[in-house]
Amino acid sequence: MSDEEKQTPSYDEKIHQPETAPYGLPAQTAVVKSEEEKRLVRKLDMRILPITCLLYLFAYLDRSNLGNARLQGLPQETLGGDPTGKLFDWVNSAFFFSYIICQIPATVVSKLFPPSYWMAGAAMGWAICSTLMASAFNFGGLMSARIGLGAFEAAFGPAIPLYFSFFYTRTEMGLRMAYWFGFAAVAGAFGGLIAFGVQHVQGSVENWRLLFIIEGIPAFLLGVVTLFLLPNRPESTNFFNDREREVALDRMNRSTSGDVGAVINKKHITAALLDWRIYTGGVIYFGVNCALASISAFLPTIIKTFGYTNALAQLLTVPPYAVAAIVLCLTSYTSDRLQNRGIATAGACFVGAIGYLLLLVVPNNVHVRYFAVFCICSGTYTAIGVIIAWYAHNLGSETKKATGIPMFMAIGQCGSILGSHIYPATDGPRYIPGFAISCGLEAFATICSLVLWISYKRENARRDKLHGKADPDARVDTSELADKAPGFRYIP
């Protein structure tokens, strides 16, 4: 080795040399990135984030446009008027039944396929189902389309945190998940604008049918783009050159030893099924998803009770969603820097609970009630975005992630079914039972978030005492014990 080579630090030395942590953090939580790694992250961001964020935008548009279609005549033309609102509730919740059933098997099986093929197939499938909703003429037709929509979206949503963990480290994951999930809020705002425009179309096709067509077809086209442009796993994608692949694999194995290729570890599936923390996450997710489902389906209806016209109610859904996206990104950025997800999740759930409480106790002040909608949207969307990032790097192995992430999501989506049925038309305009249930669930989610945070902190302290302080960037063999490995440390 020449003198010059001896003096030049290797890639690993550049990454792991002990330097002062940014943002005042303890040195052991910082990762010092080389310029080479920074360039790679920028390259990943420029390719992965636009595709996955746009996919989620259209997925959420196709999932939530039912609430906009309700104000455009859908119940009158396909559900016989639906005076009680119960048929609409069942059409809305049909999505979540298939979504819940398919999440775990779909995410585990997704490890056996190239991500580009898997994501593209899911997108084209739900796009077809969403577009076909425009051709429905009765309750059965709408139910069939919604069930198919849920099945295909179940193959996409829970697989994204797993997919991101192939490329992003635990200090980068929160903000990237925020960008991705933030597009659900963007979809809410964008959907309100589209619905407002469609509301004024005078044509031979009913407005609600036109809405499904406009929001369904672009998802299919994006699915085709995904097939050719979305990078596959770091060890197999042609998106990297040899040096970039080496750096990407080092990052992939930072703090854990990642699986390689299409591998499923059956022991880690069992470990996920027996992990109480995953079920606790499911309880938190249940509470916030009850709120999320009701926001998606009933926010235009709720805002209409403030005394606005149908068209203006559609338009007034835009600002709360826009603010929610900003709050989500800021909170996730902070949680990345502090490497603390529990307090962020608890705070977001608490803000959502306050919003519902305001709707309950302030029946006549429109300005306060509209402010409460901002609290609900910001708190709910932020909590969901942060908790997904929380579990993406707290389960130790890819197989446990592929099982555990859809597990807590499936439990949480049961809350979506509840949220679809707690706002019957007969409870309007106050909707007291629905607001009270959502308020209580978000408050309980706040408590569970704090319990989980304390649990992770205590377990990290116990392992530090038994095994000494762990290097957060060192490779830990999680092939046998997943997150139970002695060298593994949780993000509290």
Looking at residue 17, its pLDDT comes to 40
118 within 8 A of 110, measured Cβ to Cβ: yes
Looking at residue 323, its pLDDT comes to 92
Measuring CA to CA, which residue among 295, 167, 142, 182 is closest to residue 235?
167
Query: Residue 109 contacts by C-beta under 8 Å, 6 or more apart in sequence?
Result: none
296 within 8 A of 420, measured Cβ to Cβ: no
Looking at residue 73, its pLDDT comes to 86
Query: Residue 273 contacts by C-beta under 8 Å, 6 or more apart in sequence?
Result: 403, 407
What secondary structure letter does DSSP report for 474? S
435 half-sphere exposure, CB direction, 13 A CA radius: 22
End-to-end CA distance of the chain: 44
Residue 321 CA to residue 187 CA, distance in Å, equals 8
Looking at residue 259, its pLDDT comes to 55
Looking at residue 249, its pLDDT comes to 86
Quickly tell me which residue has 């060298």 as its tokens.
487
Taking the chain (492 residues) in runs of 10, the rounded mean pLDDT of each run is: 42 39 36 78 95 94 86 88 86 90 92 94 96 92 94 94 90 89 82 84 86 93 96 91 89 65 81 95 95 78 79 82 90 91 96 94 89 93 92 86 91 88 82 92 97 96 90 77 89 92
71 within 8 A of 310, measured Cβ to Cβ: yes
Looking at residue 24, its pLDDT comes to 35
Count of CB atoms situated within 10 Å of the CB of 368 = 13
Its pTM stands at 0.80
What secondary structure letter does DSSP report for 71? T
Measuring CA to CA, which residue among 384, 155, 209, 378 is closest to residue 281?
384
